[in-house]
């Protein structure tokens, strides 16, 4: 079992089900892996949340973000674009002092700026833009090990460029690919992972 984990192949957990190795590295990961990661997410507010959290994750481990997710949701009004777009300078200062989130000034400013930008878009426009960059699943081979999972793809690079062109920040190609993975535009569960979609 240790050899499989080292090689990056799916690993049997305490329940006997085989999962992507990262899913067993912390208790919080199992539910996230099994129920959320790689499952299709739609809706502008839901995608704004995922986009914002992926930006906050940049340079950190995802478990840090996952553990602070309730704090992020409370601090950012449930990631409702219309509400966050109305945040004031006092709200910004509140966020910078909030120990329940990552207090990174550039990332907070980007989240607020992104919300203001997105508030001017038509309903469903963010959803349509993001999902227009989903690759055909038939063109992708299921990864056998973690080494087979890319960090950036041509589609994530194109999505990053499209989001930046529309005025969004902290949306580089790596962040865009992490968003694509988290929101089910791609299914990067390993081939023998219990959570992989048929």
Q: Which of 116, 81, 83, 112 is nearest to 96 (CA)?
A: 112
User: Under a CB-based contact definition with an 8 Å cutoff, are residues 93 and 127 in contact?
Assistant: no
- Give the helix/strand (H/E) hosting 74: helix 62-75
Length of the chain: 198
Contact 75, 84 (CB under 8 A): no
Which helix (H) or strand (E) is 29 found in, with range? helix 27-35
32 catalytic? Reply is: yes
Give the pairing type, strands 18-19 and 11-12. Answer: antiparallel
Residue in 29, 62, 155, 177 annotated catalytic: 62
List the catalytic residue out of 32, 36, 86, 117.
32
**Those residues with Cβ within 8 angstroms of residue 156's Cβ, 6 or more apart along the chain or in another chain:** 133, 173, 174, 176, 177, 180
Q: Catalytic one among 29, 37, 49, 54?
A: 54
Q: Which residues are catalytic?
A: 32, 54, 62
């Amino acid at each position: 079992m240790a050899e499989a984990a080292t090689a990056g192949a799916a690993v049997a957990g305490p329940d006997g089900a085989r999962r992507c190795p990262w899913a067993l590295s912390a208790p919080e990961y199992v539910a996230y892996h099994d129920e959320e990661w790689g499952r299709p997410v739609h809706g502008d507010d839901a995608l704004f949340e995922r986009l914002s959290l992926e930006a906050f994750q940049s340079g950190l481990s995802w478990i840090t973000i996952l553990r602070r997710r309730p704090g992020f949701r409370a601090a950012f009004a449930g990631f409702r674009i219309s509400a966050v777009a109305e945040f004031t300078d006092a709200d910004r200062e509140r966020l910078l002092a909030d120990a329940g989130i990552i207090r990174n000034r550039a990332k907070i400013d980007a989240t607020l700026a992104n919300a203001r930008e997105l508030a001017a878009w038509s309903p469903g426009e963010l959803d349509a833009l993001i999902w227009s960059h989903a690759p055909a699943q038939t063109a992708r081979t299921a990864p056998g090990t973690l080494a087979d999972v890319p960090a950036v793809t041509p589609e994530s690079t194109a999505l990053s460029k499209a989001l930046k062109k529309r005025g969004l920040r902290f949306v580089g190609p790596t962040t865009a690919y992490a968003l694509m993975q988290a929101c089910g535009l791609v299914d990067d569960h390993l081939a023998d992972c219990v959570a992989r979609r048929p």
